[in-house]
Each structure stands twice: as C-alpha cells, then as structure tokens.
Structure 1
C-alpha cells in the first residue's frame, strides 16, 4: 500500500499534490479541533466542535442571543458555541466573571468595535488603562453633575412629547421608536458637544441618524470580518463601504463639534456645561483630543440606541397591558406639572416597570466575551481551562425560570420585592468594574420619558394601523437591539 501510494505521488501533478495536502491538513485540523481541543468534552452542537462560522452567521443575522438561548435550553448552563468559546447562563458564574476586581478580562472581540481600532472606555481590554480612563470620565456621569444637566435633558424630553402629539394629530398614530431615537440622539449630542443634532426639530431621519442606527449591525460586521475592513474600498460589496463610511461620518461630526466647543472654552466665551467640559479644561494628565473624540463617538452610539430602544419597548409593553398602563398612569398623574427627576426617582411602580422593560427587552442582550485567567476557573461546576473565551448574555440570564418565573411575561410586580438571586441575574448595564458608565443618565431619561409620555397619553394603546403587528416588534439583536420593522405605532 505504501509503495502504491508513492507511485501515485510520483505520477501526480504538483497541483494535485497541493490540493491533496490541503485536504489532509484541513482534515487533521478538524480532528484536532474536535477531539484534542481542551473544550472537546463540553456539551454543544456538533458543528461547534469544528467551526465558529454558524455562530457568526447567527450573529450577522441578528439572531445570536435567541440561538444561544435555545442551546442553553437543550444542553444546560454551559454550552460550547465555537471551538474556542463557551456560553454560560449560570447567574453565580456570571457574577464571578463580571465582579469588581475580577481577572476575567475582555476578549479580543472588543478590539474591532471602535472606529479604525480606536480605544474607548468600552472596548479597552487592559484593566489598568480602563481604570485610569474611567476615573477621568466618571466625574461627568455622577448624579451631582447630571443634576446640573437635567434641564437640557428635560427640554428634549418635552420636545419629543410635543412632536409625538403633533404626529398623533396629523397622522392618527405615533411612531414612538422614531421619536425616542431622535430624542436620545439629541440628548447625548447636547450633553457631549454642547449642541444638539436637532433631529427633533427636523422630524426626519438624516444621513447621520441613519449611520447611528446602523452602527449595531456595522459593529457585527467589524467584529466578524476584522481583517477585511482595511480593504473595504476594494471589496465590491456595498455593506463593507457603508461600514467605513458610517463610522467616518460619526467620527468627523464628533471631531468638528468637539473642536468648536474647545475653541469656545479657550476663548473665554460663555458655554454650557457638557460631559467633557472638565476633561477639555484638564491638564496634560487628561485625555488627548483624539481620545476625547473617540469617547464622544462611543457615547453617541451607546447613548442614543440603548435609551431609545428601552423606552420604545417599555411603551409597547405597557400599552399592550391596560391594567399595567392604568396603574402607572395613576402613579404619575399625581406629580406636579413641573416635576423633576427628584420627584420620580423613587416612584415604586414606575421603577418596577422600567426594571421589567430592561429585563425582558434588554437593549444589550448579546454575549459579553471574557478570557478565563491563565490558571483556569471553576464555573457552574466545570473546571474551565485558562485562555478560554467565556460569555454571558443578558437575554438568557433575564429569562432564567428559577429567577424569573413565566419569564416571557411582562410583569412589573415581580420587582416589588426582588430576591438577591434576581439582582445577581439582572445585568441590563453589564456588571462589575465594566458596568455602563452612562447608567445614571440612561435612568434619568427613562424616568422622565416614561413619566411624561403616560401623563400626556394616559389612554395610549398599540395600533394596528398601517399594518402594525406584533411581528414588527420582534427584536433584531446584534450587539444592540432594534425592532425588526424599525417602528412602533401607538394610538393615543
């Protein structure tokens, strides 16, 4: 047999030998991945042993959280989703992975989220650099500092409700997804740059807003095909060019707006306070202008989509449940006309409604990949090898039936007396030292937006006009979420 094989090789062309060699190499590689990989003993679908392509396909389809959730239902709290990654749905393990001071560092997945590889607070993987940057940026996001910015937020919330009332009069329905998106975009722009995008005034989607709305999908492209992006202009597919163009449009706007604001500060012109005022006034130990621009880009993307999505699904869910709506209206209608965040911060039912909206329709439902420290770790009863990528996703944690019975039901009352385990499994803003720095700002917008909406439209209900149906609200899930139809029509 060996002699005949040698004869075949002698008579074969170089091309045939190369192809045969490639096939053998590929076969050996697949065998090694499947059976000699330290993760070979973990449960999961057969394809995950050999390749992560199917998982990437689900990611690019906006369906990965649902796909991984189904795997957890079938295989349990730890599932192998690719040759090198495990998904974990155990709340105690999630708490350990994301705890303050933990050694589970962000994976290389985050390297390609920023525009042209730019590093921001969100995608910095080095814990020391992250701590320094968070300390610099967190001052702008404290409750005390945000209290000074609240009038700007409230002005935009009131304008959004005014524009909704105008649309109701002219169209008969309100597209709350559109108006919440415009509002959140204008708020974060005004607080970051001292100037709004003025989308609420214009009342229509601009190229810039479209670029913002597409960033979640574009981030999926960037993280899936990082090696191709430098050659985007050479690839004859529009999507790759749109990824580059969208990111560039946001970057250029941030650079110009920050530049204008910095010039006003330096000239002594009276300027309104922003999230970056103190940093721009800072000395050599602060951030460079490029780093500030990169952070501003991150603020714009994260601060517009997440808040708008949560308010959209909150309104939709409440309007589908008249008893919940009526109870919420009863609570907020007793407020004074000139109410502030201080008036609504501790309203019990309003906070329960917001928590439930964040649970079942988390704006960031997707995996948050981390690297297991070199010495390995025991999670959910398994000893995980060092260097393994492990990920938790809010979509599954928030649907754990042991923590949240009848998990698919929108039930604010479950938050009346939350258990310790419920709190551990509730991660709408991430967790640990990497918890979302904009959480207090988001909560302010949610409190003010939900309150003013249901005070203004106490009889709001989900519309069936213009073909609106529940299928329109199925979540498209990349890194962030949006309704598949990109609309939510409400009658009021």
Structure 2
C-alpha cells in the first residue's frame, strides 16, 4: 500500500509537471522530449528505490545512496581508508548507541565516538562497531568474502587469500597451514636471521657510500628474499645485487595494480589491444610475478622428483606428497600470493616502524637500551618476550597497518543487525583496520605513535586490533611475520643505535604520506635514514 501511494503520487506530480510545461515542449524535437522524459523517470525510480531501501536509514554522504563512483575514485586515488574513516568521524554524533565521552580527569573537550556504521555505496556499508566486527569475522561465521576477491588474482587466479568458497578455503588452508605453523617456522629461523644480517651489512655499505640508507628499498629486498628462499629453497638474491629489478618495482606497485585489477576486470583481458599503457603495465606486472614463481616451483619440483636432498621449504609437504592434493598450477598461484603478500607487508611495516621510532629520540633510546642488553648470538626466543620491543611493534602495526583497507564480506541471506542497524542479506559489509585502530575511545591521541599504550591493553583494545585480519581468514603468515619483525627491529637498532630520519635529498614527512589501496606504501616509495 505504501508503495502504491508513493507511486500514484509521483505519477500525479509528473502529470502536473507535464501539463504546466506543455507549451515548452510543443515545439521541441521528439528526441529531446524522449531524453528529458527518460531522465525524469530514471530520477523518480532512483528516489523510489532509495526510499524503500532498508539502508536508507544508515548515515552517509548523499552520493553513496545512488552510486559507488566517488568511493571508487577514492580507492584508485589511494585514499579510501582515510575517506571512509572521515565518514565514521563525521557521522559519529549520529550513532544510535552512544553519545560524547569524556575521559575521567580530562579538562579537554569531550571525545566524539566514531559512527558504528556508515554507508559508502548503494549496497555497501562499513562497520566500526567492535561487537559487530567480531561477529562478521568470527570462526565459523556466515559472512563470506564478497565478489571483490574474485577480481584480485592475476588472470582470475585463485589462492588461499581470495578463495570465497568456505569449503574450498578450508581444504586449501589445511594443506598450507602446516608450512606456516610455528613449529615449522622455528626450523627456518637460521635462514631468516642470515638474510636479515646480510641486509644490515648492505645497509651499512650504502651508508658508507652515500651517507644515507633507503630502508624501504632494503626492507623490500630483505622480505622478498626471505619469502622466496623459504618458499623455493633459494632466494631471488635481490639483497646481494642491491638493485631495483623490474620484479621489485612490480612488488612495490602491486597494491595499486590490485586496485586497477578489481576496478576494471572486464578491460584487462583486452589490455594488449587497447591504447591504455596502465592496463598493459598491470598485466605485465602480474605476468612477471607468475613467471618467476613458475620458474622457481618448477626447479624445486624437479629436484624433489629426482630424489635430491632438498631443503625444507614452505611447499615441501605439497611437492613431496604422493597424493599431490594441489596441482602444480595451484601451487604456482599460491607461490605468487606468497611473493606479493610476504614481500610488501613486512617491508611496509618495518619501514614505518623505523621511521616512527627514529622521529622520537626518547622512544628510540628506550628501545636501543632494551635490545643492547641481549647477548651476541641471540635467537627469536630471546627477543620474543622483550616488553618494549613488542610494544613498539604493536604500535607500528596499529598506526601503520600494512593492510588498513576494507575487508568486504557478504551479509547472509537472512540479514543481520549490526551496530544498531538492520542490514539486509546480500549487502556488502566491510571492516577496515584503519578505523578500528583509530577509535578515539580505545586509542586516545590515536594519530600519535605511542608504544606505551600497550603496557596494559584492555580487552576492547585487543578486540579492535586486527593487523592480520581475524577469524578463519586471518593471515596464515602471522608467525613468519612476527619472526621477521622481532629479529629485524632488534638487529637494526643494535647496529644503528643513533639512527635518525634524514633530510638529505629533500626527504621530509610528506614523503612518508600514505598511499593506501589494498596495501599501503610511502608516496615517494623511499624512506631515508641517517645512522
């Protein structure tokens, strides 16, 4: 009845408008009349659709009601996490669950909470309510990865990360988790330690030559060599060569390439035929990683098949298994994912960690004092429980999460109430670490790098802390990542206790401004440190 009433009312208004403007259209050409009429009908249909849409009650910019074009623009500009966070801040006062909060003893202005749910597109909302986030990402939950992930892989490749079918994901995760389990990673520690020590040596050589170290470059080399050595039994030796090869350049641009791939999936197959250099570059980058992974897996497989005493790697069990649960092509696709994710995330986190610590002498000196107390020949076990070291890493992961962007999920068919709003089934419900890690109630002065906030973290802080995702889709490489972060941070500040941010070659804070697609990177793709 409500729909019929609105429909009839709009028809009457439309009829009256046509009557009043009959003189205007009397001499107009038929095509103009048709075009204007079609536009009016389209406008009315959009208004009706929005009026009846259950998401119409959720706060957000007006343009999000009708199109996702502005959100897509922010995504391609590397600004979507900040844009969505600004919406949560803007609509925080409209939250149905809480009002202003003032900290006990505070004489400053009250802290405005972030809005629990904001609308970012006609059929997409972003969630910042912690209880709702836990429900979306809980183990065994019904919120499946959205079709966004179908477009991420090069030429439609499926990996553990972008597999949307929960049954197939569970099978794949079971096969791959053994290689990434902590019990297995511990045996690979000597290789990781040796690679980081070589990186320290190469950093020193660059400093001796030019008086400055580009840590973003060297952490990328280090992370790429660690993941390839652990995956294939031998590294790509980028640390030894110290050159930004086409592969390294591709890895540093991979996050942007993913953004292009997910935005224009139908155009990429025609990249070679279209006069669009960017699409050609995206396809060439994906092919470059695929080719190197294919070569490395093929070589390692031949060694396994010939009975040679091969080194233990992350893919050993899969390639040595008689049943061969994954095809060689599926293993290559997983290897591509390991190379891209294992290189970028660690390099980004280490770069922003070093930059943040070196900007604050008191933080640096406290960290140096702690790691200097370690004996020579220390192991990961020796540093795993260092209090301040862990606080520094946690704060780097909070403020400079390598994956700060939306993790879109599909609301189950029956719909759900999230953050005080009913969300119909089929809607995309996203969560982003960028906003969760900047909740002003949980993390006061959230834009400040303050490791001491982790001295006594609350249960709510821990729940909001998601640098590696959550639930069954949490990052499988978390143990390797922590090993690299612990050892690399310790070795760096033991070797370079006086490290500070450089101003040479025009280096400034703006260089470290974030470009955030799926992953992040410094705008200038460099971070210069003097030691």
Unpaired segments ≥5 residues, structure 1: none
- Cα offset, 1:27, TM superposition: 2.6
Query: Residue in 2 aligned with 1:38?
Result: 54
CA distance in 2, matches of 1:24, 1:281: 65
Q: 1:418/1:233 Cα in 2 relative to 1: closer, same or farther (>3 Å)? A: same
Cα deviation 1:273-327 (Å, max 9, x = unaligned): 1100111112336111111000000011000000000000101111111111111
Q: Which residue of 2 aligns with 1:123?
A: 162
Matching of residue 99 in structure 1 with residue 115 in structure 2? no
Cα distance in 1 for residues equivalent to 2:502 and 2:347: 19
Within 5 Å, which residues of 2 pair with 1:255-334? 255-284=294-323, 286-334=325-373
Matched residues in 2 for 1:132 and 1:250: separation?
25
- Asked whether the 8 Å contact 2:54–2:422 carries over to 1, the reply is no
Match of 1:469 among 508, 511, 515: 508
Matched, 1:163 2:202: yes
Residue 10 of structure 2 is matched in structure 1 by none
Aligned to 2:8: none
TM-score by length of 2: 0.89
Q: What 5-or-longer segments of structure 2 have no aligned partner?
A: 1-14, 92-114
Match of 1:429 in 2: 468
Q: Shift of the alpha carbon at 1:196?
A: 0.9
Partner SS state of residue 349, structure 2: helix
Check if 1:82 corresponds to 2:121.
yes
CA distance in 2, matches of 1:29, 1:478: 33
Q: Aligned pair 1:221/2:294, yes or no? A: no
Number of the residue aligned with 2:375: 336
Q: CA deviation at 1:241?
A: 0.7
**Contact residue 318 and residue 324 of structure 2 kept, 8 A:** no
1:59 aligns with 2:75: yes
Matches of 1:284 and 1:23, distance apart in 2: 61
- Structure 1 residues 21 and 133, CA gap change in structure 2 (3 angstroms): farther
Q: CA separation in 2, counterparts of 1:445 and 1:175? A: 18
Q: Which residue of 1 aligns with 2:7?
A: none
What do residues 312-370 of structure 1 show as CA deviations (whole Å, max 9, x unaligned)?
01011111111111111111111121111111111111111000000000000000000
**Greater C-alpha radius of gyration:** 2
SS in 1 for 2:125: strand
Aligned pairs (5 A) from 1:441-452: 441-452=480-491
Contact 1:33 1:49 in 2 (8 A): no
Q: What per-residue deviation string (whole Å, max 9, x for no partner) do you get for residues 78-130 of structure 1?
A: 11100010011112211111111111110000001111111110000111111
Cα 1:264–1:89, aligned 2, differ >3 Å: closer, same or farther? same
| 1:47 corresponding residue in structure 2 | 63
Match of 1:205 among 224, 244, 262: 244
Separation in structure 2 between the aligned mates of residue 388 and residue 124 of structure 1, nearest angstrom? 19
Distance between the aligned counterparts of 2:306 and 2:472, measured in 1? 37
Which secondary structure state, in structure 1, belongs to the residue aligned with residue 408 of structure 2? strand
What does residue 69 of structure 1 align with?
Answer: 85
Alignment check: 8 A CA contact 2:223 2:346 kept:
yes
How big is each residue's C-alpha offset from its partner over 1:12-36, in whole Å with a ceiling of 9 and x where there is no partner? 56x6577457535643453245323
User: Is 1:174 aligned to residue 213 of structure 2?
Assistant: yes
**2:454 counterpart of 1:415:** yes
- Residue 148 in structure 1 maps to residue 187 in structure 2: yes
Kept in 2: contact 1:363–1:428 (CA 8 A):
yes
Higher mean displacement: 358-367 or 460-469: 460-469
Residue 257 of structure 1: how far off its partner (Å): 0.8
| CA–CA distance in structure 2, aligned partners of residues 193 and 150 of structure 1 | 16
Number of residue pairs matched by the alignment:
491
- Mapped to 2, the partners of 1:11 and 1:472 lie a distance apart of 57
- Match of 1:374, SS state, is coil
Aligned equivalents of 2:69, 2:148: Cα separation in 1: 15
The CA deviation string for residues 375-397 of structure 1, in whole angstroms up to 9 with x for no partner, is: 11111111211111011100010
Query: In 2, are the aligned partners of 1:258 and 1:293 still within 8 Å (CA)?
Result: yes
Distance in 1 of aligned mates of 2:132 and 2:267? 35
CA separation of 1:196/1:47 partners in 2, compared to 1, >3 Å: closer, same or farther?
A: same
Q: Distance in 2 between the 1:29 and 1:256 partners?
A: 54
SS at match of 1:459: coil
CA contact (8 A) 1:106 1:370 kept: yes
After TM superposition, give the deviation of residue 140 of structure 1 in Å: 0.2
Aligned twin of 1:359? 398
Q: Which of 268, 279, 283 does residue 244 from structure 1 map onto?
A: 283
Aligned partner of 1:395 in structure 2 is 434
**Contact 1:182/1:200, CA 8 A, preserved across alignment:** yes
For 1:112, the equivalent position in structure 2 comes to 151
Is this contact kept in 2: 1:79–1:88, CA < 8 A? Answer: yes
Q: Determine helix, strand or coil for the equivalent of 2:57.
A: coil
With over 3 angstroms needed to count, the CA separation of the structure-2 counterparts of 1:21 and 1:264, relative to structure 1, is farther
